[in-house]
A and B are shown apart, each in its own frame.
Chain A
Amino acid sequence: MMDKLILGRFIPGDSVIHRLDPRAKLIATFYFIMIIFLANNAITYGILTIFTLLAIFLSGLSFSFFLKGVRPMLFLILFTVLLQIFFTTGGKELFAIGPLKITEFGLVNAGFIFMRFVLIIFISTLMTLSTTPLSLSDALESILSPLNAIKFPVHEISLMLSIALRFVPTLMDETEKIMNAQRARGVDFSEGSLIQKMKAVVPLLIPLFVSSFKRAEDLSDAMEARGYQGGEGRTRYRKLDWAKRDSISIGAMALLTLFLFLFRR
């Protein structure tokens, strides 16, 4: 069930992209998603595609992972693309089925929207595939640290985040185990009506909640026992260091922006 989800998982590797500072990757990914809206013609979309493919190539990860990353979103993409095809007016009318008209603009727009979706998914998949969740939460803490000035609890949030990320695989395992145990007692998770399916989830959710709370209690006790009292005065073990390649990657984003401005209509 969860095995098929590629988005949000990390695949170890030793490529340039893997070694980038997670802050650089986080900023670049968000930035890319923003500037993708600058593209408005074939050339600019072409530039973005080449850039994305180059990044994927540099990561050394197999292209098929990225295609799998798109799969869960396929329905949304097709839905949007179809809406665009049928409900955009303007340009030459190609043919009409009743009130629905397919126009030149509609097709072009649909193509662009499709590219936009795929590129955004590719780039965000690339970030999660090449970055460990832990270093992502470190990066977030570092990026958010200026917010300390307005009394925003950056340390607490990032601790929450890293604990949450740490427990995702544990909870997945736990879910799998409890599901198996209940299936062995005759629960059917995949059959029956919607109401039956919802009822079948109760024997899964209650033990999961109970064990999560128990785990939280044990973990907080263990943290206290080891001298944790909050963010004040703590040092950090995992340090991020910004290298030349990180500056280069940000530079590449700036260059990309420049190209987009030059070639957009």
Chain B
Amino acid sequence: MDIQFEKVSFEYQPNTPFAQKALWDIDLSVKSGSYTAIVGHTGSGKSTILQHLNALVKPTEGRVLIGEREILPTTNNKNLKPIRKKVGIVFQFPEAQLFDETVEKDISFGPMNFGISAEEAAKIAREMLALVGLPEEILHKSPFDLSGGQMRRVAIAGVLAMQPEVLVLDEPTAGLDPQGRKEMMEMFKELHEKHGMTIVLVTHLMDDVTSFADKVYVLEKGRIVKSGVPSEVFQNVEWLNEKHIGVPQAAAFAKKLERAGVQLERLPMTTEELVNAFFENRGEHI
């Protein structure tokens, strides 16, 4: 399912003294089966864009196409549920949305809202728990008895249980330890590659962008300032620094090598590329 933004602008609380414009003329497209990253400084409008992806907010100008559905400023709030089923959003710190008595009920909550029977939903809950790497015995525990990292996984399982076509992730690994972060990103990669899930990732970690995404949008103050293939966008290190975006570690290191006199053809984006480029440069291959 494709998602297409056409000249989308958005203003919070329009026509009040607290009005605040957050997005200007956004053209963005999420192709079916793609892995799209959205990056930008804090307050650049990333989270606002996310809320457009499943019509939690409507644009104040322009239009958003979600699959077949067209969301205009005048669209009313009825019948948006089918969209919400197809586009699952994992918000920042999603553990804050847990509420039910048991993990099983909490994971089943989403599917049941979309009309799936309780037994079926319980079955899905079991599968999802395994998918996010949690043991089955916590199924009947209260979600509030779990550790922070486990709660995060349960919350993500709750979104995955709706079996969305598009999975939107708003800094899914914020506040996790390095191991948990790695596992979680691998899990999303697997969902993307094996199950063909379309993924939209909002992140501050440029290494995640270069290792996973196939397209990146760079936002600044509510506008898209650059978009394209990550390895292209991240070539210009000075530009990235100027925009306060951050540089992938491998690229930053390669930049240092360059200054020390090692000439590389292209700026490598991942550690793997860096190692390869380095040896190629010395005329060796591994």
User: Are B113 and A187 in contact, with the CB atoms below 8 A?
Assistant: yes
User: Are B77 and A190 in contact, with the CB atoms below 8 A?
Assistant: yes
A168 CA to B124 CA in the complex, in Å?
A: 38
24 chain-A/chain-B pairs, Cβ below 8 angstroms: A3-B16, A4-B16, A65-B17, A174-B96, A177-B91, A177-B92, A178-B96, A178-B97, A180-B51, A180-B89, A180-B91, A183-B84, A185-B84, A185-B97, A185-B109, A185-B159, A186-B85, A186-B114, A186-B162, A190-B77, A203-B97, A203-B99, A203-B109, A210-B99
User: Are B113 and A186 in contact, with the CB atoms below 8 A?
Assistant: yes
User: Are B97 and A3 in contact, with the CB atoms below 8 A?
Assistant: no
Q: Which residues of A contact B77 (CB under 8 A)?
A: 190
User: Are B99 and A202 in contact, with the CB atoms below 8 A?
Assistant: yes
Known: A184-B56, A186-B81. 5 other contacts (CB 8 A): A3-B13, A184-B88, A185-B97, A202-B99, A207-B99
Q: Which residues of A contact B39 (CB under 8 A)?
A: none
CB distance from A4 to the nearest CB of B (A): 8
- Give me the interface of A with B, judged by CB distance under 8 Å: 3-4, 6, 9, 11, 62, 65, 68, 174, 177-178, 180-188, 190-191, 202-203, 206-207, 210-211
Q: Which residues of A contact B94 (CB under 8 A)?
A: 181
B85-111 with Cβ < 8 A to chain A: 85, 87-89, 91-92, 94, 96-100, 109-110
A188 CA to B77 CA in the complex, in Å?
A: 10
Ranked 10 nearest A-B pairs via Cβ: A186-B113, A206-B99, A181-B97, A185-B110, A184-B89, A3-B13, A203-B99, A181-B91, A207-B99, A186-B114
Count chain B CB atoms within 10 A of each CB in A11, A62, A182 and give the residue with the most: A182
Q: Mark B23-66, 1 if CB is under 8 A from A, else 0.
A: 00000000000000000000000000001001010000000000
Nearest neighbor of A64 in chain B, beta-carbon distance: B17
A73 CA to B79 CA in the complex, in Å?
A: 32
A65 CA to B159 CA in the complex, in Å?
A: 41
A187 CA to B81 CA in the complex, in Å?
A: 9
B144 interface residue, CB < 8 Å from A? Answer: yes
Nearest neighbor of B54 in chain A, beta-carbon distance: A184
User: Are A181 and B96 in contact, with the CB atoms below 8 A?
Assistant: yes
A188 CA to B13 CA in the complex, in Å?
A: 21
A6 CA to B100 CA in the complex, in Å?
A: 34
A6 CA to B158 CA in the complex, in Å?
A: 37
Nearest neighbor of A185 in chain B, beta-carbon distance: B110
Q: Which residues of A contact B109 (CB under 8 A)?
A: 185, 203
B216-257 with Cβ < 8 A to chain A: none
User: Are B96 and A211 in contact, with the CB atoms below 8 A?
Assistant: yes
Q: Which residues of B contact A183 (CB under 8 A)?
A: 56, 84
Q: Which residues of B contact A177 (CB under 8 A)?
A: 91-92, 96
CB distance from B205 to the nearest CB of A (A): 21
A40 CA to B196 CA in the complex, in Å?
A: 75
Q: Which residues of A contact B96 (CB under 8 A)?
A: 174, 177-178, 181, 207, 211
CB distance from A208 to the nearest CB of B (A): 9
CB distance from B71 to the nearest CB of A (A): 14
Nearest neighbor of B106 in chain A, beta-carbon distance: A203
Nearest neighbor of B99 in chain A, beta-carbon distance: A206
CB distance from B14 to the nearest CB of A (A): 9
A207 CA to B91 CA in the complex, in Å?
A: 14
A190 CA to B98 CA in the complex, in Å?
A: 21
User: Are B158 and A11 in contact, with the CB atoms below 8 A?
Assistant: no
Nearest neighbor of A2 in chain B, beta-carbon distance: B13
Q: Contact partner of A186 among B17, B78, B84, B97, CB < 8 A?
A: B84
CB distance from B103 to the nearest CB of A (A): 14
A3 CA to B57 CA in the complex, in Å?
A: 14
A203 CA to B97 CA in the complex, in Å?
A: 8
A2 CA to B78 CA in the complex, in Å?
A: 20
User: Are B18 and A3 in contact, with the CB atoms below 8 A?
Assistant: yes
Q: Which residues of A contact B100 (CB under 8 A)?
A: 203
Nearest neighbor of B81 in chain A, beta-carbon distance: A186
User: Are B17 and A185 in contact, with the CB atoms below 8 A?
Assistant: no
A77 CA to B41 CA in the complex, in Å?
A: 48
User: Are B144 and A210 in contact, with the CB atoms below 8 A?
Assistant: yes
CB distance from B96 to the nearest CB of A (A): 6
Q: Which residues of B contact A178 (CB under 8 A)?
A: 96-97
A162 CA to B149 CA in the complex, in Å?
A: 33
Q: Which residues of B contact A188 (CB under 8 A)?
A: 81
Q: Which residues of A contact B85 (CB under 8 A)?
A: 186
Count chain A CB atoms within 10 A of each CB in B85, B92, B96 and give the residue with the most: B96
A252 CA to B232 CA in the complex, in Å?
A: 69
Q: Which residues of B contact A184 (CB under 8 A)?
A: 54, 56, 84, 87-89, 91, 159
CB distance from B121 to the nearest CB of A (A): 12
CB distance from A198 to the nearest CB of B (A): 15
Q: Which residues of B contact A62 (CB under 8 A)?
A: 17
* A185-B51 in contact given A203-B99, A207-B98 (Cβ < 8 Å): no
Q: Which residues of A contact B88 (CB under 8 A)?
A: 184
User: Are B17 and A11 in contact, with the CB atoms below 8 A?
Assistant: yes
Nearest neighbor of A206 in chain B, beta-carbon distance: B99
